[in-house]
Chains A and B, each alone.
Chain A
Amino acid sequence: DAKTTQPNSMESNEEEPVHLPCNHSTISGTDYIHWYRQLPSQGPEYVIHGLTSNVNNRMASLAIAEDRKSSTLILHRATLRDAAVYYCILRVIMNYGGSQGNLIFGKGTKLSVKP
């Protein structure tokens, strides 16, 4: 599986934007970029995913570099509730409808949000 690299930790102030980077220099053409986050004492939750174009949803935006070797998860206004570990994971969507199976979690980026 292609590997991702993320900073161990980042800090943000409440109500400011946060840009969480992820490097995936060995990404292949069939790899989708997924982001999950894990709030303290909870299971991980899906945040967003994309292939080539930038993506937006109610939780965040995903900006993908033109060469796809890196991406950035953007939280537009960080709240205290956004303090979590954020994981960037590559997944292959199977054209025949199968599943790649389990997620492979790295260490992720621990985001702290200061009031």
Chain B
Amino acid sequence: EAGVTQSPTHLIKTRGQQVTLRCSPISGHTSVYWYQQALGLGLQFLLWYDEGEERNRGNFPPRFSGRQFPNYSSELNVNALELEDSALYLCASSYTDSRLAGDTQYFGPGTRLTVL
């Protein structure tokens, strides 16, 4: 069974630019989560999509947005990039029903974004 995949693996952008990161969940999973892991700040929750809708967002400005497609894949968009957006962006997927698989989340390898 294929795991969660993310693209691209690495990305270098300059301040003010926009970036789109992509995530494909495990087959059968309908929930997708985005997390940011900046150096020294730990894993911070960004966004949760389920069945095509945004269910929750973390404490991030509106320039962080995303969407989930009918095939449950997801995009994370970041506008007006700032230096502090440099981080590893992780996507995870799970079943919507937490009774399945113990509400386990499966993570992709991440996209490393560097903002210069």
List the A side residues contacting B103 at CB < 8 Å: 32, 34, 91, 93, 99-100
Contact A44 B43 (CB under 8 A): yes
Nearest chain B CB to A52's CB is how many angstroms away? 14
Q: Considering the chains assembled together, what is the distance between the CA atoms of A31 and B109 in angstroms?
A: 28
Of the residues A44, A45, A97, A105, contact of B99 by C-beta under 8 Å? A97
Interface size, chain A (Cβ < 8 Å): 25
Q: Report if A101-B48 is in contact (Cβ < 8 Å); known contacts: A32-B103, A42-B109, A46-B104.
A: yes
List the B side residues contacting A94 at CB < 8 Å: 98-99
Interface residues on B, range: 20 to 34
- Between A and B, 30 residue pairs with Cβ closer than 8 Å are A34-B103, A38-B43, A42-B109, A43-B92, A43-B107, A43-B110, A44-B90, A44-B92, A45-B106, A45-B107, A46-B104, A49-B102, A91-B98, A93-B98, A93-B99, A93-B103, A94-B99, A98-B96, A98-B97, A98-B98, A99-B31, A99-B50, A99-B95, A99-B98, A99-B103, A100-B103, A103-B33, A103-B92, A105-B35, A106-B42
B-side residues, CB < 8 A to A, are 4, 31, 33, 35, 42-43, 45, 48, 50, 55-56, 58, 90, 92, 94-99, 102-110
A-side residues, CB < 8 A to B, are 32, 34, 38, 42-46, 49, 91-95, 97-107
